[in-house]
Amino acid sequence: MKKIVAVLAAAGFVVGGAVLAPVVSAAPQAKPAPNQVAYDPAPIAWGTCASPGLARRGAQCGFLEVPLNYSKPQGTKIKIAVSRIAAKAPAEQYQGVMITNPGGPGGSGLTLSVLGEYVPNGAGEFYDWIGFDPRGVGSSQPALTCDGTYFAYNRPYYVPVTQKLEQTWLTRSKNYAKACDTAGGELLDNVKTTDTVNDVDVLRKALKQEKINYYGFSYGTYLGQVYATLYPERVRRMVLDGNVDARKVWYQANLDQDVAFDRNIKVYFDWIAKNDAVYHLGKKGRDVEALFYREQLRFISKPAGGIIGPDEWTDIFLQAGYYVFGWEDVANAFSAWVNGGDSAGLKALYDASNGQGPGTDNGFAMYLATQCTDVQWPTSWTRWQIDNWITHLRAPFETWGNAWFNAPCLNWGGKVGTPVKVDGSKAPPILLLNETLDAATPYEGSLELRSRFPKSVLVEGVGGTTHSGSLNGIACVDDKIADYLATGKLPARVAGRRSDAQCEPLPQPVPAGAAQRKASIAANDITRADLQKLIIGARG
C-alpha cells in the first residue's frame, strides 16, 4: 500500500497529472444524523505508542471510551485502543481521517495506521490514518481470552473418520465456548458487527469529523458495508478490498471458503511442481498434492518432530491459499521435511500464526464472539455433519479444519442478533477490489456488493489468488486507489454484473528472490508483509 495527496482544486495543484479535489477540513459536529449514536465521547488523550514501528513514525496512541452496551449509553464503559499517524500536508490541503480495519473479525488493527505510506504518489499524506483494535481485541480493554492452550501441538485429526474423533472435537469446541462464556461475561452480548460500527461512528465524533474515509480489508469490508448502510451520510470515501458476501454471513460463507481454498491449494501445488528444480517435491501438481496427503496421514501416528500432527500440517499450508507472499517459506519447509527430515521450518511457520500461552487466543476468541452472535448459526449438529461431509468430498484440504474452527458457535453463550440488510443505495461512490480467485472472500461477493452499491466501481485482479492484497506494488491497482483518495476519481462503471476495470494480479513468486527481500527488513519495523498477516488474522 503506497501514497497520495489532495489540495485545493482552485489552486490547480497537480499530482501525477491529476488536479486534486478540494480539501476537507476537520469539522465541528454537524447536525445529528438519523442513525447517530446517542453518546458523546470524551476526547482521546493522545500519547506515545508502545509499538516501536509506530513510535518511529511519530504515531500517537490513546483510548476511546465507549459504552459496553449502546442501549445503555450511560452504563458500563470499555476502552478502544486507537493509533493516529497525522497528515503530512499543510492544513489547507487536509482531506480528513482514514479509519482502517484489517478484518478477522478479531484482527488487531492498531498498527494499520501505517497503511498510508504505501499509497502511491503521496496520496496518503493528506489524511490522518487511524488504526484501532476493535472492542475485545488486542490492546483494547477488556480483551477477550479463553484458553491459551487451544492451539497446542498435535491436536486430534480434523477429519472425524471415527465417532471418537467427532466426539472429541465436539467436546473441545463446547469446552472452549464455555470457557469464553465464563471469561467474557456481558462482553459476549455486545461484540456484534453493529457494536463495532457504532464504535467507529463514536470514533468519528471523538475525532471531530463530519464524515469519515475508510479502508477495510476482508471482514473489514463487511464492517464498512454495514457502516455505509447505517450511516451513509457519514461516508466520504471508502476502499473495500476482499469483499464479504453479505448474503452468506457466516455459515454458508465458510462452506464457500472451503471449496475456494481447495482450488487455491492446487494452484499452489502446481507452482511447487513448476519449481521442482528448487524443491524436489514432484514434477506435477497432482504428485505434490498426493505427497501432501501422504505426509498428513503419516502424521496421525507419527508427528513431524514429535509435535506437527495432521492438523498443524494443514494450518501451515493454509496461508498459501490466502496469498502468494508466503509460498516460498511453506515450500522450503515442506522440502526440508520431505528431503531432509528437518521439521524446524514447519514448527516456525505454525508458531508464527498459532500462538500458545496466556492471551494468545484473543484473535480466535473474538472471531467467534462476533461471528457466533452476528447471526444464528445452525443449532443442529446433524446439519453441520451433512454439509461438511458433502463439502469435504469436493474439497478435503480445509473443510473439516474450518468446521471445527467455527464449531464453538454451536454452544456460544452470547446473545444472537439479526444481520443488517446491506443497502448501499444512499452511499457515495466507493472503490471495491478483489482478485478473481480470492479464497477467503470469493469473487462473487464483490459482484454482489457492487450490485448493492450502485455508485461503486470494482477493480478485479484477474486470475489472482491473493486475499486483500492491495497496495502491494501492482501499479494498475494501486494507482487507481491513489487517484480515488486524491481526487475522488474512479474508473467508469460498466453495465452488467462484472468488474469495471481489470488489472494483473499479484504475481507468483520467483524462489531465488526470497533471501534478498528478507535481508532488507529492519528490526522492529512494520512492513507490508506484517500488515498482510494482520489482514488474514483469525482466518481473515
List phi, psi (to 5°) of 457: -130, 135
- Please classify residue 205 by burial: count the beta carbons closer than 10 Å to its beta carbon, then call 0-12 exposed, 13-18 middle and 19+ buried: middle
Catalytic residue among 387, 438, 478, 479: 438
Q: How many CA atoms lie within 13 A of 326 on its CB side?
A: 26
467 is catalytic: yes
Which amino acid appears at position 341 of this protein? G
Catalytic residue among 51, 173, 218, 353: 218
**Which residue bears the cell 503530512?**
88
Pairing of strands 47-48, 60-67: antiparallel
Which amino acid appears at position 103 of this protein? G
Residue 206 and residue 80: Cα distance in Å, rounded?
12
CB 129 within 8 A of CB 115: yes
Query: What does the DSSP 8-state code read for residue 159?
Result: S
Element (H, E) at 490: none
392 is catalytic: no
Residue 448 and residue 266: Cα distance in Å, rounded?
26
CB 499 within 8 A of CB 27: no
Element (H, E) at 340: helix 327-340
CB 136 within 8 A of CB 187: yes
Residue 518 and residue 529: Cα distance in Å, rounded?
10
User: How many C-beta atoms surround the C-beta of residue 498 within 10 A?
Assistant: 11
Residue 28 and residue 391: Cα distance in Å, rounded?
53
Q: What are the cell numbers at 503?
A: 488489472
Residue 320 and residue 333: Cα distance in Å, rounded?
12
335 is catalytic: no
Catalytic residue among 173, 467, 468, 500: 467
Q: How many CA atoms lie within 13 A of 260 on its CB side?
A: 24
Residue 144 and residue 413: Cα distance in Å, rounded?
14
Q: What are the cell numbers at 424?
A: 448501499
DSSP-derived 3-state class of residue 65: strand
CB 517 within 8 A of CB 473: no
CB 113 within 8 A of CB 54: yes
**Which residue bears the cell 514429535?**
306
Element (H, E) at 378: none
CB 53 within 8 A of CB 83: no
Q: What are the cell numbers at 245?
A: 458476501
**Active site residue ranges:** 218, 438, 467
